[in-house]
Each structure stands twice: as C-alpha cells, then as structure tokens.
Amino acid sequence: MSVAPTSSGRTSSGTASDRLSPFTSQAVFRVLLESLARPGSVHQLPAAGSGSQTEWPGPGIVPLALAVIGARVAVVEAPSRRWKARICRATGASEAAIGDASLVAIYGSADPGMISRLRRGSAAAPEDGTKVGVACTALTEGGPGDVTLEISGPGVPGRARLGVDGVDREVFAALRAANSRFPAGVDVWFVDERGQVAGLPRSARQVVV
C-alpha cells in the first residue's frame, strides 16, 4: 500500500480539535498498516483525541490518518457536513465525488453502488485504487457476525474468519468484483463503534459463509 502518514498539522487553517496529534496520527497509521497486512484480524485504534469536545471519527479516521495535502477525499453519509470540512481542513485535502476520490469514508450504511463507483486504478497504476473506511457496528475476529467472512491470501495463515455486523452482505460481493483484477482494486478498513478496525486489502480473497 503506497501511503505515507500525514503529520495532521500541515495546514494553517485547521484547529487543534480538527487534527490528529502527530503521535496519534503515527499510531493510527501503524494500526491501519498492521490490520491490512493481517486480513481478518481485529485491532483497537488509539483514541483520536481527548476532552469532552472530542468526537470519535469512525471511518473518517482513515482519511484523517492517511490524507496528504492535495489528496481528494469523499465523505459519504456523514452525521453532518462538518465532518467533510473537518477532514479536509485537518489534512489539506479537497472534497471530491466518491468516484474521483483517492480516500473515502462511508458513514451510515454502505451499499454495493457506492463500492462500484470507487476508483480501482489499473495494473499499470494500482496506486490509483481507492482506500476506504467503512462504518460497521461490530467486528469479531474469528466470527460469527451478521456477516461472517472466510478470508485467504497473503498475510493469512490458511484461512481466517471475520464477523462483521451492520454491513449488507452484498457489499462484500461488490468488493469481490472491485478486486477481481489484482493489482487493481480497493483497500478497505471496517471501523466499528468500539473503535476497532479490520483491514481487507485488494489482495485478499473473501467469501461469505
């Protein structure tokens, strides 16, 4: 995955509450990398901030940690438009439609149509594939869940199972289609309400069991 952590402090217009601290940004970045390297594993994300005014960013943690100045970010079904502004202000990214964005955060309920519109890059330019955070209600390493995935491929010794609550099973069919021409495809992190994350890279093979 060709990404670099942002310091989350490169823009002069962002306020302290908008940004991840440099320490938190690096810690989140490491967790995102580890979860993507070990598909099916569930990891706890560090707190995004402190104080009574801090709000958990959910799937927005992906662009908050990975976006760099000039990146194009889509925030879909956010609780309020303020999330789009916060992410762009904190990272120096600009808003884009979901089909034009390099980083996407999907709040609410993801659907197959959203997945089908994500950029996949190409064999010659796989780095152009989207990196996306998807909201879910709960993740369970080993399963079961509302949807239980069986995952294989690089980083998985044999096969692993992952339970995902709060995501329609058709989303996973759409992801299989999006990643059917590796190395083109999309990299996904599911982020639950407890601040846990599980990565599903484009190289992983997954089926619903």
Structural domains of the chain, ranges and CATH numbers in brackets: 22-136+167-202 (3.40.50.11310)
pLDDT above 80: residue 39: yes
Per-residue model confidence (pLDDT) at position 18: 59
Peptide bond just before 22 cis, omega within 30 deg: no
Distance of CA 90 to the CA centre of its chain: 17
Q: Each residue of 145-162: pLDDT tens digit?
A: 999 999 999 999 999 999
Rounded to whole angstroms, the Cα distance separating 193 from 120 reads 27
Predicted local distance difference test score (pLDDT) of residue 22: 81
Would you say residue 3 has pLDDT above 60?
A: no
Mean pLDDT of 87-116: 94
Q: What pLDDT does 51 receive?
A: 40
Contact by Cβ (8 Å): 114, 98: yes
Task: Give the up-direction half-sphere exposure of residue 191: CA atoms within 13 A in the CB hemisphere.
Answer: 26
21-40 mean pLDDT: 93
DSSP assignment, residue 153?
S
